[in-house]
Structure 1
Amino acid sequence: MTDTQQWVAMGYIKGVFGIKGWLKIAANTEYSDSLLDYPEWQLRKDGKTLTVVLEAGKVMGDELQVKFEGIDDRDQAFSLRGYTIEIPRESFAPTEEDEYYWADLVGMTVSNKSGIVLGTVKNLMETGANDVLVVEGEYGQKLIPFVSQYIENVDTGNHTITADWDLDY
């Protein structure tokens, strides 16, 4: 894999499970077992990067547990605690029309229908009812529901979003 590809943080290793090298994972995905779709993960912590291959994985309750090739005991597994899990963006499944990965929306410039730049998408929040764009810019922080009522257009090619959102909202 090339160094130019975009890696997306998808969770982190939160602890060990048992004595045979199994790890507990905190997944930042809609479904915790989605990470099992990717056979190779990049782990990153304190400037150090490791590539690991998934040997096995399972969901126990709401917790994802995985085993990497070559990590066969608790001490080896414990040394991976705190690493961020990254997946190459190019390996994500294609989206349906009007569906977007959060990783693709972060960093986009958001303007309103009048052409005023509201800022840049810094993050998204789940509210239960819908996702919300966290936009930061010259006019402060704006929380814009990511629903068709407020989002006029998402232009992935130009990295822009047009929203029906006034400055005083």
Structure 2
Amino acid sequence: MEKYLRVGVITSPHGVRGEVKVYPTTDDVMRFKKLDKVILDLGRGETRELKIRQVKFFKNMVILKFDGVDTMNEVEGWRQKDLLITRDQAIPLEEDEFFITDLIGLNVVTDEGETLGTLTDVMETGANDVYCVKTPEGKELLLPAIRDCILDVDLDKEEMLVHVLPGLLDL
């Protein structure tokens, strides 16, 4: 299980005073108003904790200002870097809700005991999510994240139990 959860990706500096534009990767963009700090993932295991001074919203983006960061030059190298939070900062999940990062890598098994493969991605389509499963043969199977199809998720066993609806295996 991942230690951190991604809430956004810095896209570019915003203005000359050290603000950054952030593409939110969280379901609730207003959560940025409640955050005091985030962790900047600089890559190669290097991180930096940043205290949030100001939050603004512009179109589909979040504009963040951090304490002690006052010039565009300071943030120029942060393009495409992830902003993370610790799990204790996460919004509590409802029953049968999971963080995408916890689903990636699960072994997907049918209710008939057949191993379908490994969950490799989650596509957010609007109506319902779609789980991408890579089969042992290297093919991709798409499963709708609906109750009729997804029967159980056991993070401890790292397994997802599914019922394959008619037509889904016709690759």
Q: Is the 8 A contact 2:109 2:162 kept in 1?
A: yes
**TM-score, scaled to structure 1:** 0.86
> What is residue 162 of structure 2 aligned with on the other side?
163
**How far, CA to CA, are the matches of 1:70 and 1:156 in structure 2?**
40
Cα displacement (A) at 1:5? 6.7
Tell whether the 8 Å contact from 1:41 to 1:54 is kept in structure 2 after alignment: yes
Query: How many Å separate the matches in 2 of 1:162 and 1:35?
Result: 34
Deviations 1:22-74 (A, max 9, x none): 11001112233334433222212341322211111121122110011110122
Alignment partner, residue 50 of structure 1: 48
1:22 correspondence with 2:19: yes
1:133 Cα shift?
Answer: 0.7
Unaligned runs of 5+ in 2: none
Q: 33, 37, 42: which one pairs with 1:40?
A: 37
Count of equivalent residues: 166
The alpha-carbon distance between structure 1 residues 5 and 113, as it changes in their structure 2 partners (threshold 3 A), is: closer
The residue that corresponds to 1:145 in the other structure is 144
Q: Runs of 4+ in structure 1 displaced over 6 angstroms?
A: none
SS of alignment partner, residue 30 of structure 2? helix
Letter matched to residue 44 of structure 1: D
- The change in CA–CA distance for 1:120 and 1:35 in structure 2 (over 3 A counts) is farther
Residues 102/74 of structure 1: CA separation in 2 closer, same or farther (3 Å cut): same
3-state SS in 1 of match to 2:127: coil
Q: Is the 8 A contact 2:141 2:169 kept in 1?
A: no
SS at match of 1:79: helix
The residue type paired with residue 130 of structure 2 is: V
Q: Which residue identity is paired with 1:126?
A: E
Q: Where does 1:58-69 land on structure 2 (aligned, <5 Å)? A: 58-69=56-67
Partner of 2:127: 129
User: How many Å separate the matches in 2 of 1:35 and 1:103?
Assistant: 20
Structure 2 residue aligned with 1:99: 97
| 2:115 paired residue number | 117
Q: In 2, distance between residues paired with 1:55 and 1:116?
A: 52
- In structure 1, list runs of 5 or more residues that go unmatched: none
How far off its partner does 1:122 sit?
Answer: 1.3
Amino acid at match of 1:131: D
Q: 2: distance between equivalents of 1:90 and 1:5?
A: 12
Give aligned-pair identity as a percent.
27
d(CA) in 2 for partners of 1:110, 1:145: 13
Are the equivalent residues in 1 in contact too, given 2:18–2:69 (CA < 8 A)?
yes
> What root-mean-square deviation, in Å, do the aligned CA atoms of Structure 1 and Structure 2 show?
2.1
